[in-house]
Chain A
């Protein structure tokens, strides 16, 4: 009996010990769970913070940033990317890139570049637009946002860069062409004269006339380039003068040219329109516009010069009933050496710089020049200058 009681006591003591140990272990476990939960919360907060920082960082970038998972699905797109494609950020995430870009070429490029393990970059003309160009740079991310290899695509709108590059390339090509043509002509004539034609009056006369004409053309080109350079680099020398008198004088001087071309040249200007600007440069603007209008108006047509002071702005309008300009040419007519009809412009002694000079001078005065034109019906060039008071 005593033995049985002792065994029961021992069992009870063991049970008590085990219960106490378990309770202790349970408390330890609960403590561990609390600690782990706190650590987890801290990590989650840190991750959320990192995510917010990453989003803030990517949103602060002017470039579009898109991150794609291995299947090519967008997992992150910043504000700029959404803006570039005219969509909300949420519209991009979860879909293939092509649903935002509509560009099969870019999709293919990203797919090809993603697997190559190094950055690639290429410019793409975007669907639906002849002029919009995006530069897409692809960077492989060995460990991305989700811990698996991802691809980062950086998009920059380089439309303006492409436009300027085209203008620069055209300018260099044009300036060398414009100089080479008269020089080649002068050299050919001079060589012919040197080889004996100098003694032949019938040949020598016209050849010398051509040499003088081509030399004059070179002179006009270099003069126009200088005017253009001045307009771009120097502040206009401003003074108060009568725009009315200036317009009357320019129109008076151009009457002879207009009569020879059979064009009626009219002036409508209030009697006392004053302006504070560079007189020489504004004269150059009016001369170029009137000269062009007469040049491109067939016999029997009209050219009209009008000026007014409206809503604090001086507006000068030169309109004609001439051959007009096609819509496709309108965006480029102010570029240097851009000619709508190259042969005709050269025949009439144009340098291809007249409208560039107009634009540069007007913009240097804080104004703008607009053109409205209908092919075969005529053009209207409008110069709008801010009305500036003499300081």
Chain B
């Protein structure tokens, strides 16, 4: 075992935190770019999001390897162990967020060739709310801020409400105008992907709660009820 002094180990944990944040930033940018590609029918941007997913996957593997190395060599305990374990969980959520951004980019690419009417409903607003949840979850991780954790958890209910509103709007649009059915059905998928990204942000927030309190709990109502 290559034993590190406490300060060296702290430095390693700090590096791990910074790498996680860099991965979170990549995932957020992927979501932002995918939505911009959808709004502006920008195929080149959609392609960049799809290609860029490899870099998020690579970060996922690097951080996982780093976590395993720390566990194997340093045998972290208590809060340190929770932090490393949580990092392993968070990278899975961030990797899935990257995958959903790719899904949205693929819809953007498909709809860019679609000549029908364009009705994005409130999807941009939902994307903004979801990105804010992700930002707050990562911020809570950095600040050890349990209030911010609850802000993320509560925002999930608002995003769910927005999802239902968009779903109803798109259903109404499909009923009123058969020409928008194909487009609206793809946009329903986008709403679903955004809703999943919000769930991953809540997962991250719940993990931050675990690091800080040592209590594993399902804080979000939707997670508790499984709805």
Contacts and interface: CB of A to CB of B under 8 A. Distances in A.
Interface of A: 87, 91, 95-96, 98-99, 102-105, 107, 125, 127-130, 326-328, 375-376
Contact of A96 (B14, B26, B128): B14
B32 interface: yes
Nearest to A87: B143
Of the listed residues A87, A96, A102, the one surrounded by the most CB atoms of chain B closer than 10 A to its CB is: A102
B136 A128 contact: yes
Contacts of B138: 102, 127
Given A98-B21, A105-B25, A127-B29, 12 more contacts: A99-B18, A102-B24, A102-B28, A125-B32, A127-B24, A128-B28, A128-B131, A130-B32, A130-B35, A327-B124, A328-B123, A376-B169
Given A326-B121, A328-B122, A129 B131 contact: yes
A96 B18 CA distance: 7
A98 B22 contact: yes
Contact of A99 (B132, B142, B169): B142
Nearest to B122: A327
B131 A127 contact: yes
B48 interface: no
A81 B29 CA distance: 22
B100 to A, nearest CB: 16
B142 to A, nearest CB: 5
B136 A376 contact: no
B116 to A, nearest CB: 14
A226 B5 CA distance: 74
Contacts of A125: 32
A207 B136 CA distance: 60
B139 interface: yes
B21 A128 contact: no
B25 A102 contact: yes
B120 interface: yes
A99 B138 CA distance: 9
B134 interface: yes
A102 B124 contact: no
B21 A104 contact: yes
Q: Which 7 A-B pairs have the closest CB atoms?
A: A128-B135, A104-B25, A104-B22, A127-B28, A328-B124, A96-B18, A99-B142
Contacts of B119: 326
Contacts of B142: 95, 99, 102
B210 to A, nearest CB: 20
A104 B26 contact: yes
B147 to A, nearest CB: 13
Interface string B10-30: 000010011001111110110
Nearest to A107: B22
B62 interface: no
B125 interface: yes
- Chain A interface mostly helix, strand, loop or mixed? loop
A96 B21 CA distance: 10
Interface string B108-122: 000000000001111
B180 to A, nearest CB: 13
Contacts of A328: 120, 122-125
Contacts of B29: 104-105, 127
B182 interface: no
A102 B172 contact: no
Nearest to A106: B25
B197 to A, nearest CB: 12
Contacts of B25: 98, 102-105, 107, 127
Contacts of B23: 104
B135 A326 contact: no
A326 B120 contact: yes
B18 A98 contact: yes
11 contacts: A91-B143, A95-B142, A98-B22, A99-B18, A102-B139, A104-B21, A104-B26, A127-B25, A129-B131, A130-B35, A326-B119
A99 to B, nearest CB: 5
A99 B135 CA distance: 11
Contacts of B132: 128-129
A87 B143 CA distance: 9
Contact of A128 (B14, B124, B134, B143): B134
Contacts of A91: 143
Contacts of A102: 21, 24-25, 28, 135, 138-139, 142
Contacts of A98: 18, 21-22, 25
A95 B121 contact: no
A99 B142 CA distance: 6
Contacts of B143: 87, 91
A326 B142 CA distance: 36
A128 B197 CA distance: 13
Contacts of A107: 18, 22, 25
B24 to A, nearest CB: 7
A328 B128 CA distance: 11
Contacts of B14: 95-96
Contacts of A129: 128, 131-132, 135
B7 to A, nearest CB: 12
B137 to A, nearest CB: 10
